[in-house]
Amino acid sequence: MKNLKKAVTLNELIWDTEFFGVSCAKATLNKALSLTEWFELKNQFKNYSFISLINKNSEPINAQLIGKDTAGFLVDVNIQFEKEISVVEEKPSNVIIHQALEKNNQVLEIANFQFSKFKEDPELAERGGDQIYQQWLNNSFGMKDKFFALSKNEEGNINGFALFSFRNSSCLIELIAVSQRGGIGSSLFKAVEYEAHQYGCKQIKVGTQIRNLEAINFYHKVGCKQVGCHQVFHIWK
């Protein structure tokens, strides 16, 4: 495994294991693997019931190895975006930033994401995959390292949110959702950018699924650039 560390990042997924009730791991393939590296990695698979394989930059050699030697299937292609943070003079007036937000049912109701590998993999769907984002939010409520941008309408009801956090010099948007159209998403993104600039961040990072064309077009609209395209394979043992 020592020689494999630069080529592959292998992590046991403790939270996923507890949630889905099967032993889970994630293997991120950082480069095109040699046959020796691939066989060494495959030997580790026997320790888990489920493996999520992230093929960074959709490396063709790795995709061929996965297709030939496993029963793994392509469940998603994750598109990664980045934006260099520019100076935002003021935060949109309809958006409020909260740190360590307490549980909010309006936020949970909005978090109904159509595209999700957790729902599109039948095995995960049967194990509660459709509840994964609600659980993600529940785990984020009250946490000091988690921030929420909340958009409210004239009646004071939440009509959109963005969950984000800071890592080194970057701001990571984890989830973003709106209950209706009309510029809410743009206001949320601008508010996150404003807050990230206040924290001294250099860039915003966010990802979405390749099938989510509305999200892809949105991130282009707010000035993001595509910087990655990673295949996601699922292997069940």
| Site of tokens 């979405």 | 208
Question: What's residue 87's pLDDT?
Answer: 81
Average pLDDT over residues 101-124: 95
- Give the separation between CA 77 and CA 117, rounded to whole angstroms: 10
Question: What's residue 101's pLDDT?
Answer: 98
Average pLDDT over residues 47-64: 98
Q: Where are the domains of the chain?
A: 2-70, 83-228
Q: Does domain 83-228 have CATH number 3.40.50.2300?
A: no
Between the two ends of the chain, the Cα-to-Cα distance in Å is 20
By CB atoms closer than 10 A (0-12, 13-18, 19+), residue 233 is buried
Report DSSP state, residue 142: T
* Residues 6 or more apart in contact with residue 3 via CB below 8 angstroms: 36, 37, 40
Helix and strand counts by DSSP (H, E) for the chain: 9, 10
Element (H, E) at 196: helix 184-198
Average pLDDT over residues 2-22: 91
Q: Percentage helix, strand, coil, to 5, in the chain?
A: 35, 35, 30
Question: What's residue 6's pLDDT?
Answer: 87
Mean pLDDT of the chain: 95
- Give the separation between CA 233 and CA 76, rounded to whole angstroms: 7
Q: How confident is the model at residue 169 (pLDDT cuts 50, 70, 90)?
A: very high
